[in-house]
Amino acid sequence: MSQAGYVLAYGMVTALATVLGVLPFAFVKQVSPRAVAASNAIASGLMLGACFGLVAEGAELGTWQTGIGGLLGVVFILITQRVLAHRDAGFGQVRGAGGRRMILIVVVMTVHSIAEGIAIGASFAGGMTLATVITVAIAVHNVPEGLAITAVLRPQGVSLRSCAWWSFFSSLPQPLLAVPAFFFVDAFAPALPYGIGFAAGAMVFMVLVELLPEAYEEGQRGTVGLLVSLSLIAMVAFQRML
């Protein structure tokens, strides 16, 4: 296999890892309003925790670039939100606020994968060992991302199979961008801190403006607080371990 073939294969592995996040939901049968709040709380914690890793990584590549990327990410979500509300967009059968949240989480996670795809492709410049380490790290941390997507989609009645598909879809930019990033690493590398900042800004803002208010409305404050904190800490500790 040529090296470009490896890049594509590695990107595919990380994308498929996202689907594993659906598995825990295979064991949950009923979805009550309280479970929706719990799901939203867990997704919020995981996404906020993921942002910690992104910012730490972005700061190593360039603090200001990451900061500018972050602001752009916030603006991106503000605009997407307005557009979706204006058109009364829905996700499958679900319209209104629920449908908007579903579209937003898929969009946010997909956009976030772009930076990960570039990271995979660019890492090949540092040799096969580095590329393997980075790929495994990204694949492993994609699992909770699939979990976050499923946690938002599943309570709205989306089938497990569709949740798996959307999780995979959100990670497709990884193989698709890893290859060009590998060939044009000099052109892509400077964009990486902006991309990382963008992903972090978009994720945090999406959590704060959509997921958390919904969770507090539907669930009990103490329970939501516990779930967000515990999943956030788990995600942060997990990233420090890798």
Which residues are near another protein by CB under 8 A? 48, 52, 55-56, 59, 63-64, 66-67, 70-71, 74, 78, 201, 204-205, 208-210, 212-213, 216, 221-222, 224-226, 228-230, 232-234, 236-238, 240-241
Q: Based on CB atoms, which residue is closest to another protein, 6 or 216? A: 216
Q: Which is nearer to another protein, 11 or 219 (CB)?
A: 219
What's the rounded Cα separation, in Å, for the pair 236 and 80?
A: 28
Question: Minimum distance between the CB of residue 76 and another protein, rounded to whole angstroms?
Answer: 13
Please identify, using beta-carbon distances, which residue of 88 and 217 lies nearer to another protein: 217
For the bound state, the minimum distance from the C-beta of residue 98 to another protein, rounded and expressed in Å, comes to 15
Taking the alpha carbons of 216, 151, 113, 103 in that order, is the dihedral positive or negative? negative
Please list, in sequence order, all residues whose beta carbon lies within 8 angstroms of the beta carbon of residue 66, skipping any fewer than 6 positions away.
55, 58, 59, 193, 194, 196, 197, 200
DSSP 1: -
In whole angstroms, the minimum distance from the beta carbon of 191 to another protein comes to 18
To 5 degrees, how large is the angle CA 143–CA 139–CA 119?
130
- Tell me the closest approach of the beta carbon of residue 193 to another protein, in angstroms: 10
Pick 44 or 174: Cβ nearer another protein? 44
For residue 238, the minimal CB distance to another protein (Å) is 7
Name the residue among 228, 64, 55 with its Cα closest to residue 151: 228
Q: Which is nearer to another protein, 56 or 185 (CB)?
A: 56
The answer to whether 204 touches 55, Cβ cutoff 8 Å, is: no
**CB-CB neighbours of 1 under 10 Å:** 7
